[in-house]
Amino acid sequence: MSSVVEICNAALGRVGGARISDLNLAVKEARVCKAAYPEARDATLVMHHWSVARRRRTLAAVSPGPEWGWRYKYLLPSDCLRELPLTEDGAEEGAEVKASREGRYLLTNQPPPLRLRYTARIENPQDMGPLLRAAISAELASRIVADLVGDEGDRRRIRAEAQFDIRKAISRDDTPGVPRQAERPEFLRTRTET
């Protein structure tokens, strides 16, 4: 799954849709994937601070600063989807700094330069790890299922499986700290526990 079309085909496979060779084909599967893929990708990137999507930048304050409430205003990088917790020195374990995001700006009392860690938008699937590509495919399947599957029970099952697979991918990402455990969807727990 190292192309957008391959990620889309994996999602289509989850929902029983026909494979595509190009997102610009005049078929329903291509149209729904082309429309849903960018939001599914960005939503998946925002769900977790994926190790392959982490970036660091040193930012200068911009003028004019905020009118009130904060001393400094920083323009976020154009690929920033979600900032990681700010610290005084940019280190993960540093003293946390309060801030507020307003549009493309980050407001804070932290003087420049601001060391920012963030989750970046990754557009090329070859720059993504396999877990992230699988999670995007699962999220895409949960978004396109309503357009391609008629049975509501099948839709719920596909969405639950997708959410389970996303949690599993997140739990296996090489993010430092306590590993997260993927929970089984309710319909699978009740089926296997009784």
d(CA 21, CA 172): 30
Based on the fold, state whether residues 127 and 167 are members of the same structural domain: yes
Based on the fold, state whether residues 128 and 42 are members of the same structural domain: yes
Spell out, as residue ranges, where the chain has pLDDT lower than 70. 1, 174-194
d(CA 122, CA 134): 14
Last residue of a domain, one of 84, 105, 120: 120
Identify the pLDDT of residue 1. Answer: 58
Its domain, for residue 59, covers 54-120
Based on the fold, state whether residues 137 and 171 are members of the same structural domain: yes
Domain count for the chain, please give it. Answer: 2
72 DSSP β-pair partners: 108
pLDDT tens by residue, 43-84: 999 999 899 999 999 999 999 999 999 999 999 999 999 999
Helix (H, G, I), strand (E, B) or coil at 51: helix
Identify the pLDDT of residue 90. Answer: 85
Based on the fold, state whether residues 127 and 188 are members of the same structural domain: yes
Long-range contacts of 183-191 (CB under 8 A, 24+ apart): 185/160, 185/161, 186/160, 187/156, 187/157, 187/160, 188/160, 188/164
